[in-house]
């Protein structure tokens, strides 16, 4: 069996032909210690975008805008990306990056806590055919019902950081006290994804663990 870290290093060594501004942004974020999508995650996302060809995309967790600008490279000109971030300083940086690199104005940044923003998006009747969930892991379970409402039938939900650097797999009895709540919430989220009747989900080791869920189409007999 190939070790996970070795495989991730292998993925990192592969040429990805990204434009210079993304290479620079990625390095800048890494240098500043801002957590952004890993190389394995990038591979999965660009593959899923090519497969699904979404037009309405939602991202929960913008940081400084790297992943939104990354997704922009792999969608069509009429695609719109809505992304949510709550940290003021990251919002400022992301806005600046979008001004520079989103020349056609395809990205909309919503500043605020995703819990509130998602409820508003639901109330306004929004729907997305691709959702990238990449915010505070412990809150995924709270976002889930709204995320499901916002996802169109046939739409894809990609969730990042599922593995919590491997801790998700540990027994709850061995998890240190300060990690217990998040461990329990992530386990809950995994169970919900695995059992929800409206979704079909695959769990992958890629990056820090990713889940790819598809919302089932409505069948005639349903
Ligand atoms: N998607 C980004 C990328 O790959 O370039 C990285 C996102 S980073 C892992 C997670 C971001 O989600 C952080 O910037 C954090 O401030 C934001 N976040 C966490 N919880 C949030 C919430 N409840 N509402 C809005 N943003 C949140």
Distance 217 CA to ligand 1 centre (A): 29
128 lines ligand 1 (CB under 6 A): no
Q: What is the pLDDT of residue 207?
A: 80
Q: What is the pLDDT of residues 78-132, one digit of tens each?
A: 999 999 999 999 999 999 999 999 999 999 999 999 999 999 999 999 999 999 9
135 lines ligand 1 (CB under 6 A): yes
63 lines ligand 1 (CB under 6 A): yes
Q: Which ligand 1 atom is nearest residue 70's CA?
A: 5
Q: What is the pLDDT of residue 177?
A: 74
Q: What is the pLDDT of residue 163?
A: 74
Distance 136 CA to ligand 1 centre (A): 6
36 lines ligand 1 (CB under 6 A): yes
Distance 50 CA to ligand 1 centre (A): 24
Q: Which ligand 1 atom is nearest residue 114's CA?
A: 24
Q: What is the pLDDT of residue 218?
A: 77
pTM of the model: 0.94
Distance 33 CA to ligand 1 centre (A): 13
Q: What is the pLDDT of residue 76?
A: 97
Q: What is the pLDDT of residue 78?
A: 97
Binned at pLDDT 50, 70 and 90, residue 220 comes out as low
Q: Which ligand 1 atom is nearest residue 115's CA?
A: 23
Q: What is the pLDDT of residues 174-200, one digit of tens each?
A: 777 777 788 888 999 999 999 999 999
Q: What is the pLDDT of residues 130-181, one digit of tens each?
A: 999 999 989 999 999 999 999 999 999 999 988 766 676 777 777 777 777 8
Q: What is the pLDDT of residue 206?
A: 85
Binned at pLDDT 50, 70 and 90, residue 5 comes out as confident
26 lines ligand 1 (CB under 6 A): no
Q: What distance in Å separates the CA atoms of residue 70 and residue 220, rounded to the nearest whole number?
A: 37
Q: What is the pLDDT of residue 119?
A: 98
Q: What is the pLDDT of residue 71?
A: 98
Q: What is the pLDDT of residue 1?
A: 62
Distance 1 CA to ligand 1 centre (A): 33
Residue 15 has pLDDT above 80, yes or no: yes
Q: What distance in Å separates the CA atoms of residue 218 and residue 203, rounded to the nearest whole number?
A: 23
Q: What is the pLDDT of residues 22-76, one digit of tens each?
A: 999 999 999 999 999 999 999 999 999 999 999 999 999 999 999 999 999 999 9
Q: What is the pLDDT of residue 184?
A: 87
Q: What is the pLDDT of residue 11?
A: 87
């Amino acid at each position: 069996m190939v070790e996970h870290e070795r495989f991730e290093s292998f993925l990192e060594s592969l040429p990805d032909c990204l434009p210079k501004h993304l290479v620079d942004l990625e390095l800048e974020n890494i240098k500043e210690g801002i957590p952004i999508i890993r190389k394995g995650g990038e591979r999965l996302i660009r593959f899923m975008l090519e497969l699904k060809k979404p037009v309405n995309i939602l991202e929960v967790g913008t940081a400084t805008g790297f992943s939104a600008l990354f997704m922009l490279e792999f969608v069509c000109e009429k695609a719109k990306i809505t992304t949510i971030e709550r940290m003021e300083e990251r919002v400022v940086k992301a806005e600046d990056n979008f001004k520079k690199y989103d020349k056609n104005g395809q990205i909309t940044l919503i500043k605020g806590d995703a819990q509130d923003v998602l409820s508003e998006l639901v109330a306004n009747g929004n729907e997305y055919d691709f959702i990238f969930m990449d915010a505070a892991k412990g809150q995924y379970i709270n976002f889930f019902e709204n995320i499901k409402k916002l996802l169109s039938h046939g739409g894809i939900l990609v969730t990042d950081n599922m593995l919590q650097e491997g801790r998700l797999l540990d027994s709850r009895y061995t998890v240190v006290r300060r990690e217990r709540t998040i461990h329990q919430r992530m386990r809950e989220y995994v169970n919900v994804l695995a059992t929800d009747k409206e979704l079909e989900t695959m769990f992958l080791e890629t990056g820090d663990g990713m889940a790819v869920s598809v919302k089932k189409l409505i069948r005639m007999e349903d």
